[in-house]
């Protein structure tokens, strides 16, 4: 479930540039969170966290310079189900309500900490169960164990597999990849997952490198190729005796 960074993909496939590998991976990420996917239901833990290192300024939910995101995780008798991650502009009731509406079925029970925005964010659409961390005398990961485990895993993935090389403008795309993998972690057929991803890629809209660069900061475009372009040696497999499956 670790995935691969653009640098590693370029090295292993012997591609001509980092930009080619980066764009290839991002094209797959654009179809990993397709429209119409089932929303979470039942008991769902929800919380927010930051992606990024320490920054000077206001601490906590008002901090600047880091990416604020929300996570929602299904829980059923102590077992962790599916998850959703979403970048949010702030921790206001309006922003949290938009995240909940996009990812949770109405009527679900939303389990949160004591942040004051949640009662308004869940009103009339969800059942809300909030627990004040300070009043309970417990740590945050004890009150919301599932969502804090997801925080730990996704941050470890970003800092490990991706080496922290994730620009703020593209964080949501990386979240979509992680969620795609995490929600299918119990699948016994890697071939079926690969088939699902390819089908979604074929059905998706074309994505150009130029449009990806407009979405955020990336490395400069590579210089134009000189002469005829040749396929990388990694694609030279000769004539296989059996068809690809």
Report whether pLDDT(245) > 50: no
d(CA 32, CA 6): 17
Report whether pLDDT(216) > 50: yes
C-alpha separations of 140 from 110, 116, 147, 162 in Å: 16, 16, 10, 27
Looking at the DSSP bridge assignments, the partners of residue 85 are: 71
What's the pLDDT at 167? Answer: 83
Report whether pLDDT(53) > 70: no
% of the chain with per-residue pLDDT over 90: 47
> What residues have CB less than 8 Å from 212, skipping those under 6 apart?
23, 26, 218
- Output the pTM of the full model: 0.79
- 90, 69 in Cβ contact below 8 A? no
d(CA 105, CA 107): 6
pLDDT tens by residue, 156-206: 998 888 877 788 888 999 999 999 999 988 887 777 778 888 888 888 888
Mean of all residue pLDDT scores within the chain = 84
Show the DSSP H helices in the chain as ranges: 6-13, 18-29, 93-103, 118-122, 133-136, 140-143, 145-160, 171-182, 190-203, 209-214
d(CA 51, CA 202): 31
Which domains are assigned to the chain? 43-53+63-182 (3.30.420.10)
pLDDT tens by residue, 96-105: 999 999 999 9
Q: Based on DSSP, count helices (H) and strands (E) in the chain, helices before strands.
A: 10, 5
């Amino acid at each position: 479930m670790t995935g691969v960074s653009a640098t590693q993909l370029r090295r292993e496939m012997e591609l001509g540039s980092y930009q080619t590998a980066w764009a290839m991976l991002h094209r797959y990420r654009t179809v990993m969170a397709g429209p119409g996917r089932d929303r979470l239901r039942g008991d769902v833990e929800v919380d927010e966290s930051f992606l990024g290192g320490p920054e000077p300024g206001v601490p906590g939910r008002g901090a600047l310079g880091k990416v604020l995101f929300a996570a929602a995780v299904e829980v059923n008798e102590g077992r962790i189900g599916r998850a959703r991650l979403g970048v949010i502009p702030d921790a206001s009731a309006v922003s949290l309500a938009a995240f909940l509406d996009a990812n949770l079925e109405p009527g679900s029970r939303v389990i949160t900490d004591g942040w004051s925005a949640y009662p308004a964010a869940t009103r009339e659409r969800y059942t809300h169960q909030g627990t004040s961390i300070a009043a309970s005398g417990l740590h945050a990961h004890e009150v919301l164990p599932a969502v804090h485990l997801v925080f730990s895993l996704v941050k470890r993935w970003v800092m490990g597999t991706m080496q922290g090389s994730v620009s703020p403008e593209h964080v949501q795309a990386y979240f979509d990849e992680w969620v795609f993998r995490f929600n299918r972690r119990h699948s016994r057929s890697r071939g079926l997952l690969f088939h699902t991803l390819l089908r979604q890629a074929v059905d998706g809209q074309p994505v150009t490198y130029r449009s990806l660069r407009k979405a955020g900061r990336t490395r400069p475009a590579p210089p134009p190729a000189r002469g005829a372009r040749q396929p990388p040696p990694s694609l030279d497999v000769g004539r296989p005796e059996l068809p690809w499956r």
